[in-house]
Amino acid sequence: MSQAQSAIYPSLNGASVLITGGATGLGADFVRAFAAQGARVGFVDIDAQAGAALASELGPQTAFVAADLRDLDSLPQTIATLAERLGPFTVLVNNAARDERHDFATLTPDYWRDCLATNLSHHVFAAQAVADGMAQAGGGSIINMGSISWMRGRPGMLGYTTSKGAINGMTRSLAAELGPQGIRVNSVVPGAILTERQARLWLTPEKNAEFLEQQALKFRLEPHHVTPMVLFLASEASIGCTGQNFIVDAGLTLN
């Protein structure tokens, strides 16, 4: 995130923050931004090499554990391991996801279950794992990463769009469930974000022009355009916000 777009949130200085899928892409930008705020940042990712490199880059205020978040039985212990090093988490960013393309005609039950496990289920159980610690600390903030893909009804990625649509309902229910304990739950809903993975797998001049034509704002969104919203929702500057979707899409959903 560029200095011009950054804001300093005193409530994040010294806070203990957990980020899933933090080794690359959006997640890595989140990890760097929270570390720059003075937070203690724990992150989890299946990419052990990239995660270890990022933790080494940022130093002792960060801690990384390589884990497969689809393994829900081991997830609480993974989170507990990080909390032992950094303290109980008062911010959780449920970011991990994988927007793979697939054909509806050949979709199998196993692939479908894996889509939900990769993009949805761990959000619930990561929140469950940190909720008690947040309540004991007097409150906290959970931020679920959605996607406008479900709002636009994008074909060829039914497992992903279904998961991201479900995050909307999950966010609202968790906000009601955890609000009495001072825990806020919101979702950030990005548009077409140009990450290294997106550029490598799917970016073409035609697709780039298509997004720019459809967006109200005529520039491609990158991770650093989303990160400020995540920081805001994690901080006490957003103390009255819960159960809401915050869209960062350069106006793509206006069409």
**Residue 42: per-residue pLDDT:** 98
Q: What is the pLDDT of residues 1-49, one digit of tens each?
A: 444 457 999 999 999 999 999 999 999 999 999 999 999 999 999 999 9
For 96, the token pair is 């991990």
pLDDT tens, position by position, 168-177: 999 999 999 9
pTM: 0.94
Domain 3-193+223-250, second-level architecture: 3-Layer(aba) Sandwich (3.40)
Catalytic residues: 160
Which residue in 44, 243, 52 sits closest to 130, CA to CA?
44
Strand, helix or coil at 77?
helix
Q: What angle do CA 121, 122, 126 make, to 5 degrees?
A: 135
**Strand pairing report for 62-66 and 91-94:** unpaired
